[in-house]
Chains A and B, each alone.
Chain A
Amino acid sequence: MRVIEAKNKSFDVLNDEIYQSGDELKIVECLGQRFIASGSRGKRIVISGVPGNALGAYLAGSEIIVEGNAQDAVGDTMNDGLIVIHGNVGDAVGYAMRGGIILVQGNAGYRVGIHMKEYKEKKPAIVIGGRVGSFLGEYQAGGLIVALGLHKDDKETLGAFPCAGMHGGKLFVRGGLGTVSFPEQTTVKIANPEDLAEIRPLIAKFCETFGYDFAKIIDEPFTLVTPNVANPYKQMYVAN
């Protein structure tokens, strides 16, 4: 495995080294460099330190493991691959994501999974271990978002205004919902075993990655939020 020293390197220099390295590499002393592995495929990259914004943007199949926190826009428009964060992430995780998996052990900031989509076998998934900030899943058009609400310091799992404009995909929230309210165009219910079957492998992967007890996590009730219309704006217009 090649080790790349990130210290004092600008993002373009660092990225050039990443693209020119083999498939297995480790980046050490990472300190805020943006766009790491943007658009990359076929690599396994372990990062120690804190990568900057837009980590793994347009990711096309690589695996990125961060041994700590990450910043904003992780996996922006990600298409395939896996991003694992052993810590917290900033805002806009998985913006317009259309494939692959993002696993976050800790909490996530605002606007998680906005505009997530799916098409046939391409079905993206985001699992957040802790709490999720406001504006979760706005305009969600596909894919799975799972908020586990582990280690939430007595706070609510979700922030304000989740699922605005949701017209596809699913949101699963583990445990109590507290005071949060969902928009009219969504249906909120307790997930039944068939519903949960869809996320079991995902949660198993989460537990295996971060060392949690699967049975403990899946035993709590989950809430499932889905859109109740595919064409939210259909009746709004008249031809002129």
Chain B
Amino acid sequence: MSVQYLSSEFDVVRNLERCVSCNLCVRECANGVHRIDERSRKLVVDESKCVDCQRCVAMCPTRALKIVKNENSFKENANWSADLISEIVKQSNTGAVLLSSMGAPKPTPVYWDRILINASQVTNPSIDPLREPMETRVFLGKKPEQIRRASDGSLDVSMEPQLVLETPVMFSAMSYGSISYNAHESLARAAQELGVFYNTGEGGLHEDFYRYGANTIVQVASGRFGVHEDYLNAGAAIEIKMGQGAKPGVGGHLPGAKIVGDVSRTRMIPEGVDAISPAPHHDVYSIEDLRQLVYSLKEATRRTKPIIVKVAAVHNIAAIASGVARSGADIIAIDGFRGGTGAAPTRIRDNVGIPVELALAAVDERLRAEGIRNNVSLVVGGSIRNAADVVKAIALGADACYIATAALIALGCRLCRSCQTGRCNWGIATQRPELVQRLDPNVGARRLVNLLSAWRHEIKELMGGMGINSIETLRGNRLMLRGIGMTEKELDILGIKHAGE
């Protein structure tokens, strides 16, 4: 007998009084947890393969299933948690680097939860969004510094290209390849209906989705997969990916096994060959080089599209953003430490980078101090979880937010964090046709529209409570925020007062 160094993480509990042996769970679980035993013809389980994606639970017609944490436990202590022990076991089994998906799960402080929002009382009336108009539209791009006039004295109203968002929330980059065709279609259609944008990620743009171009941000990453002139011109804006919050300083790597069919065509690389995006762009070693890339993209698109530069939130983010703001970029996207990913080395995901709240406050402050805040718009992501996070981000200085994990949850994702296996039972992080078809783009798009419509309403309510009727008035309005349970230093960086002050 071989030694089983790790016990399974979950137990599959089947209520036999309810189970009608329809065997739906067998078909639903791509991980092969539920199985009919050849000999006994009975339903059996191999719980060691379960990732707790909750698919079988959600599909079971008699609600007979439950996935629970395995009660069997290591003898943990304050220093050696069960996670740490299992990681050591996995590495000593294989000699390999640990690879994880989705955002950092460790209990690093979430500053959103320590920030409280103001409301009007008595002297400054609040506004009822059901009765009065509330403006949630934002424009992303360079803003003119001063009023300009033509030689005949008339106002010069020309503007640098802008993105117009009906709600200050966009879907952030997820490549076709890391997520499915149907997931992309859901995002694209929802973005169109909502008057916002989704982002292709670095995997190119499937030809079927060119028609959503007016609501698409196309990404250019170090691997330049699927980047060509038509692609650049297809979107409403171009995003240069310099970094990602979940894995700052690390590139992307889509295994050859996922480079199949349409994914291979869209990325323009042969099937089965690894898609490697190195950590740096090998032609960008300085702000001057970045400027060259920004302007080459502007020229290739005849200066009609705003250029976004996406960077990970890291220690010197304020100085970095200041450089980026001078590179000619129109929008800076800052991706925080807790941002999601299809796959990232665990050690990087959990230890590299800083929370986006601190990064945003530091960047907004720095750009203002240098008098260049109007050169760029700021978009933050990683991770924005609800409408209150959006309102807090805008009050801290953001122009808009990026969401991805929240959008995937709306599509069915249950954060099982096994995207890298390619067997997503919800049809999201997979390319297997039988799994992909589980996600109906009609349903997916509707759920995303529902989510952001609800958020938009909540944003309006929160703004109304503060007596603010336009998102522009909220931006950088840090007086609307108070910290709770924070040190002087934290308050200082966030530029807010403590609750009660």
Binding site for B on A (CB under 8 A): 11-12, 15, 19, 34-35, 38-39, 41, 53-54, 57-60, 72-73, 76-77, 79, 91-92, 95-96, 98, 111, 114-115, 117-120, 122, 135, 138-139, 141-142, 165, 167-168, 230-240
Nearest 5 CB-CB pairings of A with B: A39-B300, A96-B224, A240-B98, A60-B229, A238-B96
Q: Tell me the minimal C-beta distance from A207 to chain B in angstroms.
A: 30
Q: How far is the CB of A108 from chain B (nearest CB, A)?
A: 14
Bound complex: CA of A8 vs CA of B224, how far in Å?
33
Given contacts A115-B282, A142-B269, A238-B94, 10 further A-B contacts (CB under 8 A): A35-B300, A39-B233, A39-B301, A98-B224, A111-B282, A167-B274, A231-B256, A233-B253, A238-B90, A240-B98
Query: Contact between B255 and A57 (Cβ–Cβ < 8 Å)?
Result: no
The residues of B that contact A118 with a CB separation of less than 8 Å are 269-270
Check A54 against B292 for contact (C-beta < 8 Å). Answer: yes
Complex partner residue of B292 from A73, A79, A138, A238, CB under 8 angstroms = A73
Q: Is the CB of B420 within 8 A of A239?
A: yes
Judge whether A237 and B96 touch: CB under 8 Å. yes
How extensive is the interface on chain B, given as a class? Answer: 35 or more
- What is the CA–CA distance of A167 and B278 in the complex, to the nearest angstrom? 13
Interface readout for B262-302 with A: 1 if CB under 8 Å, 0 if not?
Answer: 00110011101110101000110000000010011101111
Please name all residues of chain B whose beta carbon is closer than 8 Å to the beta carbon of A77 when the two chains form the complex. Answer: 224, 227-228
Is the pair B93, A58 in contact by a Cβ cutoff of 8 Å? no
Question: Knowing A115-B224, A239-B418 touch, does A58 contact B276 (C-beta < 8 A)?
Answer: no
CB of B24 within 8 A of chain A? Answer: no
In the complex, how many angstroms separate the beta carbon of A186 from the nearest chain B beta carbon? 15
A39 in contact with B232 (CB, 8 Å): yes
Q: In the complex, are the beta carbons of A240 and B90 less than 8 A apart?
A: yes
Is B99 interfacial (CB-CB < 8 Å)?
yes
Q: What are 22 A-B residue pairs whose CB atoms fall within 8 Å in the complex?
A: A12-B299, A12-B303, A19-B302, A39-B229, A39-B232, A39-B301, A58-B227, A60-B230, A73-B296, A76-B283, A95-B224, A95-B283, A96-B224, A111-B282, A115-B224, A138-B282, A141-B269, A142-B270, A167-B273, A230-B256, A233-B255, A240-B99
| A231 / chain B contacts, CB cutoff of 8 Å | 255-256, 272-274
A79 contacts B228, CB within 8 Å?
yes
Q: A236-B96, A239-B420, A240-B87 are in contact. Are A119 and B265 (CB under 8 A)?
A: yes
Are A96 and B227 in contact (CB-based, < 8 A)?
A: yes
B93 touching A238 by the CB < 8 A rule? yes
Which of A15, A92, A119 touches B299 (beta carbons < 8 Å)? A15
Q: Are A119 and B270 in contact (CB under 8 A)?
A: yes
Query: B346 contacts the other chain (Cβ, under 8 Å)?
Result: yes
**Total A-B pairs, Cβ < 8 A:** 152
The chain B residue sitting closest to A14, CB to CB, is B299
The CA of A47 and the CA of B300, in the complex, are separated in Å by 19
Contact indicator B418/A38 (Cβ below 8 Å) = no
Interface assignment of B100: CB less than 8 Å from any CB of chain A: yes
From B91, B222, B268, B300, name the one whose CB has the most chain A CB atoms within 10 angstroms: B300
Tell me whether A230 and B274 are in contact (CB under 8 A): yes
Q: Do B296 and A232 have beta carbons less than 8 Å apart?
A: no
Chain A residue numbers with a CB within 8 Å of B227 are: 58, 77, 96
Q: In the bound complex, do residue B223 and residue A115 qualify as a contact, i.e. CB atoms below 8 Å apart? A: yes
Q: Kindly state the separation between the CA atoms of A165 and B282 in the bound complex, as whole angstroms.
A: 13
Q: Which residues of A contact B278 (CB under 8 A)?
A: 115, 138-139, 165
Residues of A contacting B96 in the complex (Cβ-Cβ under 8 angstroms): 235-238
Q: How far is the CB of A78 from chain B (nearest CB, A)?
A: 9
**Interface check B97, CB cutoff 8 A:** yes
Task: Answer whether residue B421 sits at the interface, using C-beta atoms and an 8 A cutoff.
Answer: yes
In the complex, what residues of B have CB within 8 A of residue A12's CB? 299, 303
Query: Is B255 a contact partner of A234 (Cβ separation < 8 A)?
Result: yes
Chain A residue at minimal CB-CB distance from B83: A240
Contact of B273 among A34, A79, A122, A230 (CB under 8 A): A230
Neighbouring A residues of B345 by C-beta, 8 Å: 237
Tell me the smallest distance from the CB of B241 to a CB of chain A, in Å: 13
Cross-chain contact B255 with A141 (CB below 8 angstroms): no
Residues of B within 8 A of A234 (CB): 255-256, 274
Chain A residues lying within 8 Å of B273, measured Cβ to Cβ, are: 141, 167-168, 230-231
Min CB–CB distance A226 → chain B (angstroms): 13
Residue-wise, chain B 170-200 has the 8 Å CB interface mask toward A (1 for contact) of 0000000000000000000000000000000
